[in-house]
Amino acid sequence: MTRSGALSGDAPPHLVTPPPGPRSRALCERLAAVEAPGVNTLFTGKPSLLWEEARGANVRDVDGNVFLDLTSGFGVAAVGHAHPAVVAAVRAQAEILLHALGDVHGHPLRVELAERLAALAPVDDPQVFFALSGAEAVEIALKTAVAATGRPALVAFDPSYHGLTLGALAVTSRPEFRQPFLAHLHPHVRRLPFACETAAIAAALAAGDVAAVIVEPIVGREGILVPPSGWLAALAELCRGAGTVLIADEVFTGFGRTGALFAVEAEGVRPDLLCCGKALGGGLPLAAVLGRRDLLRAWETPGEALHTSTFLANPLACAAALAVLDALERERLVERAARLAPQVAQRLATWPGRFPAAVAAVRGRGLLWGVELTSAEAAGRCAAAALQRGLLLLAGGPEGKVAQLVPPLVITEEQLAVALALLEQALGEV
């Protein structure tokens, strides 16, 4: 196998050595010696994989194993890994401009991307605020709401994942992430159970001191939870009534993952601010807040930008994002996610009955599915058995019990069938 260009992207998995193979192990060991702990292994203390090449729905590791990627690289590779149009756009942009001057001097692709995003945003009279990561988009959204309303409090849901920087961490729910930093987190966050009774939301907003409610339209990393139909619309209505900004965190769900360009659209909801990232950059770091013009006016300043960063709207990332948006449209990938959903749903619906010792519940929408295992141990065994069959799969949820099926939207029907069959084998071993 040649070192590059070997992957077609539409292949079934093919293992040449039990993963992680010897090269992955050796490189992991070297990395562990020089990189801060906790960020270089999948399971604490155990060696992980090192990726060498990724294309379409395939990943090849440094040992030559070819996997089917059911993570989309944390949801990034919606249009597939290394989409040829994304690679070509990045290559062309790299020839002329790698970096501009952040908030001070822009570049043409930034203009084009802002216009494209504003045209797509399910937000009234939208403008765009670029960010480098999902967590930064969340920071910007929270700061916008606080600056625009002058109110101190925030409402967030349990469970939820909004990122791990201090502002985003204040609204992220998992105790392990929060505990070491509790003294430094925003003190006025009211937490409510996800999809709770609307009376509880009304009570939390009643004092009129809540700047923003932040919600994942479908909870992603914390367990793939789909709220009952109408809940999001009721939440939006309550926010409107209370003068509270509704922030939809679509960092995970945005750009077609759920069978709609944005998940709020399926609920007929138009948030005030919408955070997106991950799939937007097609593999390059880029995120954004799409927000109402009257709220973003809070950033007007006679002096220096009140929120910015060195690499804001990086030219390569903007080029990649424009190619991603083109590919989503040209290849009708949002529709594809919606079209493939019923066959995934039907197959998964049989799993609790067929694998009662392993599977407690299944849920999802589009090409975002969660398989809740009966215990964290069962989830660990399932992920390990799946890996040995060439499937890349992450477990999430508060107890790590939910296996997440997040394939690239370009996964072929054959690959999808193979993935589901291999997963069934893995579940049979749990």
Which residues here bind ligand PLP, judged by CB under 6 A?
Answer: 74, 133-135, 138, 161-163, 216, 220-221, 249, 251-252, 277
CB of 253 to ligand PLP, least distance (A): 7
CB of 216 to ligand PLP, least distance (A): 5
Whose Cβ is closer to ligand PLP: residue 133's or residue 173's?
133
CB of 172 to ligand PLP, least distance (A): 8
Query: If we measure between CA atoms, which residue out of 230, 226, 229 comes closest to residue 238?
Result: 230
For the beta sheet containing 402-405, the strands, ordered from the edge strand earlier in sequence to the opposite edge, are: 359-365, 368-373, 402-405, 394-396
Q: Rounded to whole angstroms, how far apart are CA atoms 275 and 289?
A: 5
Q: Compute and round to an integer the Cα radius of gyration of the chain.
A: 21
Whose Cβ is closer to ligand PLP: residue 135's or residue 340's?
135
Q: Rounded to whole angstroms, how far apart are CA atoms 72 and 410?
A: 10
Structure-token match 């009643």, residue found: 206
Q: Rounded to whole angstroms, how far apart are CA atoms 146 and 154?
A: 9
| Per-position DSSP letters for 188-255, written without gaps between them | -EEEEETT--HHHHHHHHTTS-EEEEEE-SSB-TTT-B-PPTTHHHHHHHHHHHHTPEEEEE-TTTTT
| Partners of 342 in the β-ladder | none
Q: Which residue is nearest to ligand PLP (CB)?
A: 134
CB of 74 to ligand PLP, least distance (A): 6
Whose Cβ is closer to ligand PLP: residue 131's or residue 340's?
131
Torsion angles phi and psi, residue 317, rounded to 5: -65, -40
CB of 137 to ligand PLP, least distance (A): 7
CB of 161 to ligand PLP, least distance (A): 5
SS3 label, residue 404: strand
CB of 349 to ligand PLP, least distance (A): 25
Torsion angles phi and psi, residue 398, rounded to 5: -55, -35
Burial label for 274, CB within 10 Å (0-12, 13-18, 19+), is buried
Whose Cβ is closer to ligand PLP: residue 145's or residue 358's?
145
Q: Rounded to whole angstroms, how far apart are CA atoms 138 and 25?
A: 35
CB of 418 to ligand PLP, least distance (A): 26
Whose Cβ is closer to ligand PLP: residue 280's or residue 411's?
280
392, 59 contact by CB (below 8 A): yes
Whose Cβ is closer to ligand PLP: residue 137's or residue 426's?
137
Question: For 299-332, where are the alpha helices, taking DSSP H only?
Answer: 315-330
SS3 label, residue 380: helix
Whose Cβ is closer to ligand PLP: residue 19's or residue 163's?
163
325, 398 contact by CB (below 8 A): no
Whose Cβ is closer to ligand PLP: residue 23's or residue 186's?
186
CB of 265 to ligand PLP, least distance (A): 16
CB of 188 to ligand PLP, least distance (A): 20
Whose Cβ is closer to ligand PLP: residue 60's or residue 363's?
363
Whose Cβ is closer to ligand PLP: residue 138's or residue 392's?
138
